[in-house]
Amino acid sequence: MKFGGTSVATLPRWQNIRELVASRRAEGARVLVVVSALTGITDALKQLCGEGDRAKRMAAADAIAQRHYDLLAHMQLETPPTLAERLRTLAELADKGPAELGELAWSAQVQAHGELMSSALGAAFLSHSGVPTEWVDARECLSAIALPNQNERTRLLSAMVDARPDPALNARLAERGEVFITQGFIAREADVEGSRRRTVLLGRGGSDTSASYFGALLKAARVEIWTDVAGMFTANPRQVPGARLLQKLDYEEAQEIASTGAKVLHPRCLSPLREPRVPLLIKDTNRPELEGTVIGPEVREHAPSVKAISARKGITLVSMESVGMWQQVGFLADVFAQFKQHGLSVDLIGSAETNVTVSLDPTENLLDSDAVAALAADLAKVCRVKVIAPCAAITLVGRGMRSMLHTLSGVLAEFGQLRVHLISQSSNNLNLTFVVDESVVDELLPHLHELLIAAGALRTDDSALFGPSWQALYGSGETPVAASAWWREAERERLLAIAAEATPRYVYHLPTVRAQARELKTLAAVDRLHYAVKANTHPAILKAIAEEGFGFECVSPGELKAVMAAVPESAPLLFTPNFAPREDYAWALTTRATVSLDSLYPLEHWGDTFRGREIVLRLDLGRGLGHHEKVRTGGSGSKFGLPVEQLDAFLRLADRHGVTVRGLHAHLGSGILDAGHWGEVYAQLASLAERIGSVAFLDIGGGLGVPSHPGEARLDIAALDKVLREVKAAYPHYQLWMEPGRYLVADAGVLLAKVTQQKGKGALRYLGVDTGMNSLIRPALYDAWHEIVNLSRLDEPATALYQVVGPICESGDVLGSDRRLPEASEGDVVLIAQAGAYGKVMSSPYNLRDDAGEVILD
């Protein structure tokens, strides 16, 4: 059991440790406790080592001693002899300084006292509290090994230990007692004939590593790392509150996550445990009831998935360029010999015909500006050198990374807007790393985490792997309970009855449509809401939305006719076609609809059609957003909207034909969850409207995101309201329009199908249902993720991993990949959620199979 600095700094924390140790003893286990120094003591000891003045060193040693005396007083304990000896030795070291031992050896011995003192204090407290505890000097158990190319600095301050199982050590401890306490971070030099075995340090994360060394030496049942968090998360939870707890990992995945920036566990601590196959458990000292993260040798069968996204700051890049390196034998050997000479370990490598760029990670190198400058000076003798810093490495970690590249388009698009210095994909297929400027990381990481969930790359739906979010565990003290979907309990029996009559069937729940509409009506700054009809054209849905006071946005004469047949004449209409024929515009202008243009062509060639009319102009603001490239409707790669640079030409044409631009419109994409986006669009449109003079309203589009994956953050409607009220206050003379579609109807609809067959192929199991991409094309078209459940077996454990497929003669006819479901049988009813938008309206009779019928629940 290892406890870090915050876990040993106060009396309540030691009382927690006492209870935890007692509980392990009650299970019949012998316990070895490994402790770090009290919080802040290691830093104080380092400062002492850097002080040249004897009096200041002594004052620092006195202050460090006082911290321990204060804690003893809280514990109501006298100073134990073991601690008194440690305090006396520290005072002597501070008094004498480094002259006798040498700077590095003296520094190692001084810094070792943090753990020596905390463990002595802990032994006294535990024994006094009814848990007899033996104090063990880790330096008598852990012996450092000499490594090739080690310099004196790494030998003494970043040592490694021989961790082969040691039955003799196990036997010696067994003779002494049942509970022991020892130190993390420290060891002793290996036996060298004629030399004194000096104290050495294990470097950063040394206490975690010490626990693993002891676990391996003793072949422990498990190693427990007790810290101030519940385990490893899918991202740094301090930066990403929605990060999910990782409940199970194998050694390799955990090593990658730790190596690429996760601070809860040092990567070096996993290597000793692999060969003896000792599992490691990470737990929260203050919340021992939480499950934590289990790391072990077993690789559970699961689909390829990103497990975590992490960031390492302080990265230094060294770029080396020489025309002469192309096909030159030995160039790289000469270059890397310089890194070896300076004792620097290279992390990432990128190469081209005339350039090699490498990264230096401060967690693996004792980096300072002098060391980098000395390296650069020597490298300059053989090539041109450029040092790029400070940088940060953002890494995606997960098994099967190469097979997931197609799901990462949204993430890759984000990097397309940044200065990326280096991209590296690991040979073990476990990570993909991007090195960028350090300044962008803090804002970028939460956004990328959301994109990974939305794309289905970070599979938070797998409850066996992903636990609660950090926010749920620690945010408010209460775990927020997600609203249960209407189909899960309230309407389950009705849905099963509908499926018994016939499948496939779309089922729409009108109360959900109304609830979504009423939520959007709370947006005080919005003057008019138009429902984007293309999402779902069912007459009952159109009527329900009209009753909530919405207008309608249509993209074809067919949609206009459907709306006019279903809703009252008082409902406002907006016609926003794209690349439509002249006849569509001419007919729409005979209706009550407000008509939109988005290119020069209609006025250049059909000016008479629009003469004297008021129109809306749709603009392309130069960028697109959304959960998939095919739903991003802005930027030069999208066919929608008039480029802003053509605005003056459009206005000249409008003036020539007597056309008045009454509104400006921009819609940049779908699936957007950032409330600030629509405020930015309004502000941009308002600034352009000021140039025109005739504009009365600004339509900022739709695209309001609907979270589909467990743990994905919802769009904050209150935050959106605040953003819109603020930006409208700056431009109060324009009406504000919006046009939501999927947000209103996605959650209101489900698709019901029946299981037809099953098939096993290699490691994959296929579950066939009686409809596919002919009814729901979104997964094939957009890589969209829809929750899929076996409605017939909703309460049974999800023990099978299925590829859910339809009967269409296409390899892309996959409704859901790698879904954990109960074992299924022919005839079971499968429900596909969030199918109320872009489902039936995009269906087809492909393969001459009937698409799904529709049923309304009210």
Select which of 141, 269, 554, 809 is catalytic: 809
Supply the DSSP symbol for 746: G
Do the Cβ atoms of 34 and 183 come closer than 8 Å?
A: yes
Q: DSSP 3-state assignment of 732?
A: coil
C-alpha span between 87 and 95 (Å, rounded)? 12
Omega within 30 of 0 (cis) for the link into 390: yes
Q: DSSP 3-state assignment of 704?
A: strand
In 3D space, the residue among 436, 432, 411, 433 whose CA is nearest the CA of residue 421 turns out to be 436
> Residues, the chain, total?
858
Q: DSSP 3-state assignment of 404?
A: helix
Name the H helices within 240-368.
Answer: 251-259, 271-274, 331-341
C-alpha span between 333 and 315 (Å, rounded)? 23
Long-range pairs for 85-91 at CB < 8 Å and ≥24 separation?
85/120, 86/113, 86/116, 86/117, 86/120, 87/117, 89/113, 90/61, 90/64, 90/65, 90/117, 91/58, 91/61, 91/62, 91/65
- The residue type of 722 is K
In 3D space, the residue among 772, 770, 751, 774 whose CA is nearest the CA of residue 835 turns out to be 751
C-alpha span between 395 and 61 (Å, rounded)? 41
Annotate 435-452 with three-state secondary structure.
Answer: EEEHHHHHHHHHHHHHHH
C-alpha span between 831 and 793 (Å, rounded)? 11
Query: In whole angstroms, how far apart are CA 365 and each of 121, 314, 645?
Result: 32, 11, 51
How many helices (H) and strands (E) would you count in the chain?
Answer: 27, 37
Supply the DSSP symbol for 143: B
C-alpha span between 642 and 661 (Å, rounded)? 13
State phi, psi for 469 to the nearest 5 degrees: -75, 160
Contacts of 577 (CB under 8 A, 6+ apart): 555, 556, 584, 585, 588, 596
C-alpha span between 49 and 111 (Å, rounded)? 8
C-alpha span between 37 and 45 (Å, rounded)? 10
C-alpha span between 425 and 496 (Å, rounded)? 47
C-alpha span between 178 and 160 (Å, rounded)? 27
Specify whether 269 is catalytic. no
Contacts of 620 (CB under 8 A, 6+ apart): 598, 634, 635, 638, 640, 641, 642, 643, 644, 666
Annotate 105-117 with three-state secondary structure.
Answer: HHHHHHHHHHHHH
List beta partners, residue 321.
355, 384
Enter the tokens of residue 503: 């499948």
Do the Cβ atoms of 747 and 783 come closer than 8 Å?
A: no
DSSP secondary structure string for all residues of 550-587:
-EEEESSHHHHHHHHHHS-TTS-EEE--SS--HHHHHH
In 3D space, the residue among 434, 415, 417 whose CA is nearest the CA of residue 635 turns out to be 417
Neighbours of 319 (CB within 10 A): 17
C-alpha span between 364 and 343 (Å, rounded)? 11
C-alpha span between 668 and 674 (Å, rounded)? 13
Name the residues annotated as catalytic: 809
